[in-house]
Amino acid sequence: MKYLKLFSIICTLVIFDNLAISQVRPGIKFGVSAPQISPQDIIVTDNQGIEQYRISVDNKRYGVHAGIFIQMQAVAFFIQPELTYNSSSIEYDLDSLQNGRGTDHFRETYSQLDFPLLLGLKAGSFRLGGGPVGHIFIDNSGGFVNYQPDFQAVPESLTWGWQAGLGLDFWKLHIDLRYEGNVAELGDYITFFGKEYDFNTRNNRILASLGFSF
């Protein structure tokens, strides 16, 4: 899969190298994201197979992002690499099933660097494109730290997904609305008693952003 992505990027760069790039627009952007997930509850069992905790998603909160982009246009084609900082949070309920501790409420905030590479068609001010996106994990805070040492967070340093959507360019103003699909499952870094869990739903989202080119 990674070789296919690399091959696609190389082919695109070769095509643009042989075309007259008529316009190069560097700029900054910022926006919000809304999660598109359908999480299932997690039932955590200990090393003896006894059910200890039930974890559910209580609130799917909006995220924010900001970063830079370069839009390069050749005839009716464009390529747009980006680098954005993304911060999101999610709230959980954790029910203790054995010790009578009741329900605890947690909020976890995590941040990552995203680097989408969009390719597509442009007609006038209208853009239609899509491409791969990588996510580099930076940090997370909160979560189920009160349940250590039963709990561990082991996030992957790099995950992959894709983005596709529409864009409008008015002079130096750029508006984007995209859907992002991800390979990673929501909560796939959650480890209790040495076993990995997730919420059985892809960590997908809708992104809306506003950009300004120089």
pLDDT in tens, 60-118: 889 999 999 999 998 899 999 999 999 999 999 999 888 777 788 989 898 999 999 99
For residue 86, which of 108, 114, 115, 117 has the smallest C-alpha distance? 114
| CA separation for the pair 178, 82 (Å, rounded) | 14
The whole-model pTM stands at 0.85
Q: How far apart, in Å, are the Cα atoms of 45 and each of 98, 152, 169?
A: 11, 14, 52
Report the alpha-carbon distance of residue 164 to residue 180 in Å, rounded: 7
Hey, is 5 helix, strand or coil? helix
Contact call for residues 176 and 149 (beta carbons, < 8 A): no
**Which tens digits make up the pLDDT trace of 46-65?**
999 999 999 999 888 899 99
DSSP 194: T
Can you name the residues that pair with 81 across neighbouring β-strands? 117
For residues 150-174, average pLDDT: 93
Domains in the chain, please, with CATH? 2-213 (2.40.160)
> Which position has the higher pLDDT, 18 or 156?
156
Q: Is 188 helix (H, G, I), strand (E, B) or coil?
A: coil
Average pLDDT over the chain reads 88
Mean pLDDT, range 119-126, rounded to an integer? 94
Distance CA 198, CA 189 (A): 7
Measure the CA–CA gap between 211 and 104, rounded to whole angstroms: 40
